[in-house]
Structure 1
Amino acid sequence: MDYELLCTKVIAITRLTGNFIRKESMSFDAGAVEFKGLNDLVSYVDKNAEKQLVKNLAKLIPEAGFTTEEKTISRKGEIYNWIIDPLDGTTNFIHGIPTYSISVALYENDQPVIGVVYEINRGEMFSAYKDGGAYLNNKSISISSRTSLSECLLATGFPYYQFEQQEQYMKLFAEMMRSCHGLRRIGSAAVDLAYVACGRFDAFFEYNLNSWDVAAGAFIVQQAGGKILNFEGGDEFLEKRQILATNAKIDQEILDLMEKHFNS
């Protein structure tokens, strides 16, 4: 398979759906919001964006399966599977905060081969394909070169449901704040990961995320030279629903703090 050509086609499809979301944001009525669960919001924009993505991506690989956030389709492909978040940062979108994105990943035999994250309002298209490196608007990107946590800017997400580990997590936050340049919470995990890939953030960590939140962004980080781990330092970040993305230079410092405050 020509991954580079396929990635180019995925970018075009993603940009088209991004145009739809941008247009809808101009007249969006917050009264159209539905609740999937505690603090878990969805709108017709999410659902229609997902349908557009599925329809167009299905043309590229008809036999491929889909895992999607809004579950407008759910089927398992034998070899190829798309993992899609049509609007990562729905809460931002609903409240008029201009940081949200589309996340599209393609897995081949359970391994990522394409990742695309489109930060819609800034028009920033992050992409990667197998053995091809990582890109922002077609220009090559790479992770940061900082080697000490004290020099770094980190990103995270706050738990908005399943609060059982909130106390430990807040203790971890407190020490992180004293150990680095700062912590940022943007509200879109896909964007956080993309920012690690291009060196804006030096690391990102969060738990209780789903595969559609992180599949594309994690692959882009890896192709940019970064490292993706769970909170114990293992590779099973999707299975554990814990993700630590770093520039591959500060991961041990962060893992030591996680062991002290979160994993103990």
Structure 2
Amino acid sequence: MDYELLCNKVISIVRLTANFIRKEALQFDLDKIEYKGLNDMVSYVDKTAEEKLVLNLEKLLPDAGFLTEEKTSTKKGKTYTWIIDPLDGTTNFIHGIPTFAISVALYEEGKPVIGVVYEINRGEMFYSYKGGPAFLNRKEIHVSVNPDYKSSLLATGFPFYEFDKQPEYLNLLSDLMKKCHGIRRIGAAAVDLAYLACGRFDAYFEYTIQPWDIAAGCFIVEQAGGEVFDFNGQKDYLAKKEIVATNGLLTQALFESINKHFKN
């Protein structure tokens, strides 16, 4: 398998799909919103973008399966699985906030081998492939070298439909905001991870997160020299739907903070 060649083909497919999303953003009507659950919104843009991705990715690896947010394909694959979020940051998109992305990962026998995150409005393509470094628009990227909280900028996501851990989460935020340069909530986990990979953020954490939100970004972070875990310090973040990602230097400090407030 030539992972670099395959990654370049994925990038072309993602760019093509992004053109559709960018066009629809200019004329999107709030009346076209559907609700999958509490505060969990979707539109024809998400669904159509996913259909375009699935159709074209299937041509690259006909035997591959799919794990997709909008479930336009539930095909199972023995060796390969594409994990897709066609529009990460749907709430931003719906409200006209220009931070949303396409996220595509390829897993081979349960291990990531390709990750692509395209932040559409800034035209920033983050990607990596097995055996290669991480890139932003063809330039190699690395996580930051900030060694402690006092020089760091953190990222997180707010729970929007499961609030059972809200008190612990708010206490954690109160603790962290006194120690670092600040905490950002962009509203697109794939972008959070991409920004961590290129050194804009130094750490990112979130719970109640879905595999398609983070699969590509996690791989890119690790390829850029960072570390990714679940809240128990294990690597089961996709199944656990929780994530702690850092530049590697903040891992211990962030876990100490999390463990003060979350009991796993």
Which structure 2 residues correspond to residues 15-164 of structure 1 after superposition, within 5 A?
15-164=15-164
Superposed CA RMSD: 0.7
Give the letter for the 1:3 counterpart: Y
> Post-superposition shift, 1:195?
0.2
Give per-residue Cα distances to partners, 1:48-107, cap 9 Å, x unaligned: 000000000000000000000000110210000000000000000000000000000000
The ranges of structure 1 where at least 4 consecutive aligned residues each deviate by more than 2 angstroms after the TM superposition are: none
Q: Any unmatched runs of 5+ in structure 2?
A: none
After TM superposition, the score normalised by the length of structure 1 is 0.99
The answer for the alignment partner of 2:7 in structure 1 is 7
1:190, 1:262 → 2: CA distance?
Answer: 24
Q: Is the 1:69–1:85 contact (alpha carbons within 8 Å) kept by the matching residues of 2?
A: yes
1:76, 1:110 → 2: CA distance?
Answer: 13
Give per-residue Cα distances to partners, 1:104-144, cap 9 Å, x unaligned: 00000000000000000000000000120100001100000
Give the letter for the 1:180 counterpart: C
2:64, 2:198 → 1: CA distance?
Answer: 30
Give per-residue Cα distances to partners, 1:153-206, cap 9 Å, x unaligned: 000000001100000000000001011110000000000000000000001100
1:86 is paired with a residue of what secondary structure?
Answer: strand
How many residues in Structure 1 have an aligned counterpart in Structure 2? 264
Give the letter for the 2:61 counterpart: I
After TM superposition, the score normalised by the length of structure 2 is 0.99
Which structure 2 residues correspond to residues 131-210 of structure 1 after superposition, within 5 A?
131-210=131-210
Q: Is the 1:231–1:263 contact (alpha carbons within 8 Å) kept by the matching residues of 2?
A: no
1:231, 1:211 → 2: CA distance?
Answer: 15
1:235, 1:59 → 2: CA distance?
Answer: 31
Give the letter for the 2:120 counterpart: I
1:178 is paired with a residue of what secondary structure?
Answer: coil
2:147, 2:263 → 1: CA distance?
Answer: 24
2:169, 2:76 → 1: CA distance?
Answer: 34
1:233, 1:64 → 2: CA distance?
Answer: 30
> Post-superposition shift, 1:263?
2.3
1:179 is paired with a residue of what secondary structure?
Answer: coil
Give the letter for the 1:148 counterpart: D
2:86 is paired with a residue of what secondary structure?
Answer: strand
1:214 is paired with a residue of what secondary structure?
Answer: helix
Q: Is the 1:21–1:49 contact (alpha carbons within 8 Å) kept by the matching residues of 2?
A: yes
1:64, 1:237 → 2: CA distance?
Answer: 22
1:47, 1:128 → 2: CA distance?
Answer: 25
1:228 correspondence with 2:210: no
Q: Is the 1:86–1:102 contact (alpha carbons within 8 Å) kept by the matching residues of 2?
A: yes
1:136, 1:103 → 2: CA distance?
Answer: 14
Percentage of matched positions with identical amino acids: 62
2:122 is paired with a residue of what secondary structure?
Answer: coil
Give the letter for the 1:201 counterpart: F
1:201, 1:149 → 2: CA distance?
Answer: 11
> Post-superposition shift, 1:256?
0.3
